[in-house]
Structure 1
Amino acid sequence: MSQTASPSDQSQDILRPVRIWLYVLAVLILIMVAVGGATRLTDSGLSITEWKPISGMIPPLTMEDWQAELEAYRQIPEYQLINKGMSLEEFKFIFWWEWGHRFLGRIIGLVFAIPFVIFLFQKRLNWQLAPSLFILFLLGGFQGFLGWWMVSSGLTERVDVSQYRLATHLSAACILFLAIVWVVRRLRQVDPIWVEKGWRPVMWLFGGMVFIQLIAGAFVAGMDAGLTYNTWPLMDGALIPDNIYTSTPAWLDAFEDITTAQFNHRTFAYVIAIFAAFLLYKAWKNTQFAGVHGWMLIIGALVLVQILLGIFTLIYVVPLGLALAHQITAFLLLGSIVAYLADMKAENKR
């Protein structure tokens, strides 16, 4: 005797391609973040001095094209004060990193827009889901604008980009990634399981703390603060260095002083680690990590990995591989927290 699929099963089948599409987009954003981090760490971000959303997709094809790009780069302070005399081959190395970063952003836009239109025609998207996805598309487009806004800060009076704009750009990428994770996790059914009253707000608080730590890390990266005080657990021979919060106003040091920025990033990591240990204990005691609470094991493991990556990135003076792993793990940690919260939210719908 054959079985007839329930309406819920049919709905799940309809949404399966949508879920796969969104997961692909999330992975592409992670790759984009990694390429952006490599662009930053190789000092390649200012190699393209114009924003050409359409024609910029085509790289230089002739020697004349390359010379024109190099000549434009020679007009900005980074070349004149740091890279003066750079050969064409050296310029090509930094150019390709920045061009690749921008090109990948355009590819992500296409990967988003084309399936979105197809799924609309296939009626896989209902009126509740379509607006959320359209907002994600707008966030992606805004991210491109923020990227140029960041780059433009280093083309006239600075030899690098503003740490404020770098932090904004990275934060917006993270918000876009987390929004996609939230939407895609809400498109699946999960087994109902008990959730202690107040547990969700605590997890939201924890996620907020990790997000603040990501922003703090962006300021460390934006000021190249990781290239100093490359010892752990001491900074300049002390747990609390003397020369922090010495400016007027003192709070500005958190965003503009190398020592203070690195101290804040280190110290808040300890706070997050202690809080994560407490949450793991509570989750084990109350749920034994059953059902959706298995996310807590993943979250705990990622916190540990992230702390170790941060320490090794620091003591080895920010090698490219470790620094990128540290950045991507931060996104994965936040993504796991949001997925956990989304799955718990989905339980209420059953």
Structure 2
Amino acid sequence: MSAVFLISKLSRSFPLGRGLKLTQIQPYIRRTTTTLAQEHVQRVAVDEIPTVGKKWVGRWLFGCSGMVFGAVVIGGLTRLTESGLSMTDWHLFGKRPPITQADWEREFEQYKAYPEFQMKNQDISLQDFKFIWWMEYGHRQWGRTIGTCFLLPAAYFWHKGWFTRALKKRVIACGLLIGCQGLLGWYMVKSGLEKERFQEPSDVPRVSQYRLASHLGMAFVLYSLFLWNGLEVVYPAQGIKQVTAQARKFRKFAHMTKGWVFITALSGALVAGLDAGLVYNSFPKFADRWIPSDLLAFSPTLRNFTENPTTVQFDHRILGTVALCMATAVTVWSRRGVKLPPRAYTAATALGAMAWTQVGLGISTLLLYVPTALAAMHQSGSLLTLSFAIWLTHELRHVKKLPK
């Protein structure tokens, strides 16, 4: 098939009758054969893994992505129930949970030495403390379980030779991200335990919104890597016979939409970190105004975008609205005759449907004063929206410019 393609390319580029010499077409042959070789390597990269290996590596990658998804959900619930600062120490391999009454009282006394209890939870009972402690403990142990479920199979698959060269690099990257994620999680919690950050009576003890956004953003990156590689191993992107200029523009716009969804999700982390969802609980206006009066209340102005709850909520609404418009445009465009791989149409429709669902969840969460269940669904919805965007861009992998 490659030889036929090469001959057809030569016949179009150098019609008969020109009296060409061999030396004139040799550079063109070298460039074309190099391109064909690169495309062949890309096509067989996954095929280097034996069939049984692809099955188990794919299950492992999808399983890891599902566990990271679960970690995001549990982390959101931990934040919403304000449980994250209940454990005031951190151990690499975890620690034995309290068993006896004396153990619980000792753990409770540790909690009392930090700002959240002293400034906010002075009336909390030991029974209530047990609930928030178990929430945070469960989140940390889930993270450690992810590390175990990643590392042990990865070592086995590597030993069996079931990783391609490219996949080995990605596996190493995922392992580093898991380690960094654990450290960043503790660094985030530590920001809520630093007494010097909460000196004024009006201060609210909570983790830094910057560290929270970094922690969530890294989880999204890790999830995306697992999902993309799982799709690559189990469901390689379908080819397309003819790539049109419109299809290439569609692919570029799909990638832009994916990036915008990711940025919108990060802005949601700032909303969560500042409890900005409780500032204005009306939609579409902010109380009775389109532009809130305290939008730029902080000085210098740039502080408002990351530290002013009103501005952070305003930005998240704008970003979410734009993301909805872009996802809707992707769905409509895919139905207007653009030539795409078969599964890409389904992915584009799913992305548009999920975007509308996500906006509906966001508005409901806002109007109902951030109930825990709805807020957790909204955070999970952001990851689902990103998932469909990843699926779509994966299906468009081969919608690229043809070699000239």
Aligned to 2:62: 23
Q: Distance in 2 between matches of 1:119 and 1:9?
A: 13
The structure 1 residue matched to 2:214, chosen from 162, 168, 171, is 168
Return 137-146 or 82-91, whichever deviates more. 82-91
What residue in structure 2 maps to residue 113 of structure 1?
151
Deviation of 1:57 after TM superposition, in Å, equals 3.9
Structure 1 pair 79–10 and aligned structure 2 pair: CA distance change class (3 A): closer
The answer on whether the counterparts of 2:49 and 2:162 sit within 8 Å (CA) in structure 1 is: no
Task: Report 1:216-295 matches (<5 A).
Answer: 216-287=267-338, 290-295=342-347
Equivalent residues in 2 for 1:80-99 (5 A)?
A: 80-99=118-137
Which residue of structure 1 aligns with residue 9 of structure 2? none
Kindly provide the CA deviation profile for residues 41-95 of structure 1, in whole angstroms up to 9, marking residues without a partner as x: 11100000011112x2421122222122111100001000111142211110100
Matching residue within 340, 344, 352 for 1:300:
352
Unaligned runs of 5+ in 1: 1-5
Q: Quick check: 1:321 aligned with 2:360? A: no
* Aligned residues of 1:190 and 1:347 also touching (Cα < 8 A): no
- Which residue does the alignment assign to 2:201? none
* Corresponding residue of 1:201: 252
How far did 1:126 drift?
Answer: 2.5
Match of 1:67 among 91, 105, 113: 105
Number of aligned pairs?
342
Residues 279-320 of structure 1: per-residue CA shift (max 9 Å, x gap): 222111134873323200110011000000000000111111
| Cα pair 1:57 1:103 within 8 Å, conserved | no
Structure 2 CA distance for partners of 1:183 and 1:8, relative to 1, 3 Å: closer
Query: What are the ranges of 5 or more consecutive residues in structure 2 without an aligned counterpart?
Result: 1-43, 199-204
Higher mean C-alpha displacement, 153-162 vs 39-48: 153-162
Q: Which moved more, 1:7-16 or 1:101-110?
A: 7-16
Secondary structure, counterpart of 2:50 in structure 1 = helix
Answer yes or no: is the 8 Å Cα contact 1:216–1:261 preserved in 2. Answer: yes
Greater shift after overlay, 8-17 or 305-314? 8-17
User: Secondary structure of 1:198's partner?
Assistant: helix
Are the structure 2 counterparts of residues 50 and 233 from structure 1 closer, same or farther at C-alpha, using a change threshold of 3 Å?
same
Q: Tell me the SS of whatever aligns to 2:393.
A: helix
Task: Please tell me the residue identity of whatever aligns with 2:150.
Answer: F
Q: Distance in 2 between matches of 1:126 and 1:9?
A: 7
Deviations 1:200-240 (A, max 9, x none): 22122111111111111111110001112111111121222
Structure-2 change in CA distance of 1:10 and 1:217 (3 Å): closer
Q: Residues of 1 paired with 2:345 and 2:95: CA distance? A: 44
Query: Is residue 2:233 matched to residue 1:191?
Result: no
CA distance in 1, matches of 2:178, 2:366: 31
Change over 3 Å in CA distance of 1:288–1:230 after alignment to 2: farther
**Amino acid in the other structure paired with 1:26:** S
The residue that corresponds to 1:215 in the other structure is 266
RMSD: 1.9
Q: Which amino acid aligns with 1:178?
A: S
Match of 1:341 in 2: 393
- In structure 2, the CA distance between the partners of 1:346 and 1:105, relative to structure 1 (3 Å rule), is farther
Q: Give the Cα–Cα distance (whole angstroms) in 1 for the partners of residues 47 and 151 of structure 2.
A: 27
Structure 2 contact 248–399 (Cα < 8 Å) conserved: no
Contact kept in structure 1, 2:277 and 2:369, CA below 8 Å: yes
Offset from partner CA, 1:126-148 (integer Å, 9 cap, x none): 32212211110110111001100
| 2:396 aligned counterpart, secondary structure | helix
In structure 2, distance between residues paired with 1:144 and 1:323? 24
CA displacement at 1:121 relative to structure 2 = 2.2
Contact kept, 8 Å, 2:48 with 2:164, in 1: the verdict is no
Q: Which residue identity lines up with residue 140 of structure 2 in the other structure? A: R
The answer to whether the aligner puts 1:51 opposite 2:86 as a matched pair is: no
Instruction: Give the structure 2 partner of residue 3 of structure 1.
Output: none
* CA displacement at 1:10 relative to structure 2: 7.4
In the aligned structure 1, how far is the partner of 2:130 from the partner of 2:398?
49
CA–CA separation in structure 1 for the residues paired with 2:163 and 2:83: 40
Structure of higher CA gyration radius: 2
Give TM-score scaled by structure 1 length.
0.93
> What TM-score results when the alignment is normalised by the length of structure 2?
0.81
Secondary structure at the counterpart of residue 128 of structure 1: helix
Do 1:231 and 1:314's aligned partners in 2 also have CA atoms closer than 8 Å? yes
The answer to whether the 8 A contact 1:167-1:215 is kept is: yes
Shift of 1:9: 9.8
